[in-house]
Amino acid sequence: MKAIEQNFRRVTPYVPGEQPKKKGIVKLNTNENPYPPAPGVLRALAELSRTPDALRRYPDPAAQELVQALAASCGVGEDQIFPGVGSDDVLAIAFQTFFQSGRPVLFPDITYSFYPVWAQLFGVPYRCPALDGDFRMRREDYYGENGGILFPNPNAPTAIAEPLSFVEDILRHNPDTVVIVDEAYVDFGAESAIRLLPEYENLLVVQTFSKSRSLAGMRIGYAVGSPLLIRYMNAVKYSYNSYTMSAAAIRCGVEAVKDEAYFRETTAKIVATRERTARALKELGFVVLPSSANFLFASHPQYPGRQLYQALREADIYVRYFDSPRIDNYLRISVGTDGEMEQLLGFLASYTRGEG
């Protein structure tokens, strides 16, 4: 190590899913939406290209137009929305804002693998209660003293959703710490905890435009919470970067929120494809966890997960594989178009017949 490096910060970063440059692959590895964003989003981008002032100037630091649209669609006040650069940005700010007690923050042992990375980066102690044998969270694990609680609902990468009564039970047992529900996948079949906000000032719900709104490339996420929590998050945000949302992200976000019909149509299509794919995978002998998300978590009793992942990859079908305890035999398969799922199933059918 060079002398200059001695004083550098050393961290173990999160590893995002691959974005292969290769054309013509079936890409089912990062839970992107297979359908384009709403038509109004594309019109807004074209309009921006004709209004150079919109890019020459700084964007609105409060992203008020987007905050208004989200407040209306979530049925909350404008002082209850915190917008950010994808939910990763929103979650990172929440970590820095709410997890300051020095007591361990709780999140499940099998969950979004960015959580422990943020905890380490921001010096937040944490503990990871184990999911049960069916990959479900055990509510009692979240009753004791803690510095905050964070979990996705539906969970990732299991795709399993807990009912709202479960979320409420955890909130009721933790009135003095912030409970963050990461609802990145909620629009594909789980119940949003936004409904609980009037009763729980300690609840923060985080959602994203990356999955159900087809805008992963635009980087838009937001938190919905009590005015108290949102005020504290804004103070942290304005302490390091006031212009987080680009002018393009603000405009595209507004148009995406407006088109409720398109949102419903595309999410329903993904859910229908998911259910068909799950049935077909089971017919091939896969164990498929019940999914409320836009992906499936599946394993095969005869073929190791890593082997399947590699074989698929060689056939230009990309899925996600996690080399982690308890889930290293599973594949996480994003739900694509019907055509993409046919290609996946066709490959797996011949592979499990021994033709692979």
Q: Which residues bind ligand PMP (CB under 6 A)?
A: 86-88, 112, 152, 156, 182, 184, 208, 210, 216, 221
C-alpha 316/C-alpha 20 separation (Å) is: 10
Would you say 34 or 152 has its CB closer to ligand PMP? 152
Smallest distance from ligand PMP to CB 316, Å: 22
DSSP state of 295: E
Would you say 108 or 305 has its CB closer to ligand PMP? 108
Smallest distance from ligand PMP to CB 214, Å: 12
CA distances from 333 to 18, 19, 27, 322 (A): 13, 15, 9, 12
Smallest distance from ligand PMP to CB 85, Å: 8
Would you say 185 or 232 has its CB closer to ligand PMP? 185
Q: Which residue is nearest to ligand PMP (CB)?
A: 86
DSSP state of 351: I
Would you say 194 or 348 has its CB closer to ligand PMP? 194
Our CA dihedral for 9, 11, 15, 21, rounded to 10 degrees, sits at 30
Smallest distance from ligand PMP to CB 17, Å: 8
For 70, the token pair is 């989200």
DSSP state of 301: S
With CA atoms as reference, report the closest residue to 152 among 185, 121, 122: 185
Smallest distance from ligand PMP to CB 200, Å: 21
Residue 163 CA, chain-centre distance (Å), reads 18
Smallest distance from ligand PMP to CB 266, Å: 17
Our CA dihedral for 81, 84, 87, 91, rounded to 10 degrees, sits at -80
Would you say 188 or 200 has its CB closer to ligand PMP? 188
CB 232 within 8 A of CB 79: no
Would you say 148 or 347 has its CB closer to ligand PMP? 148
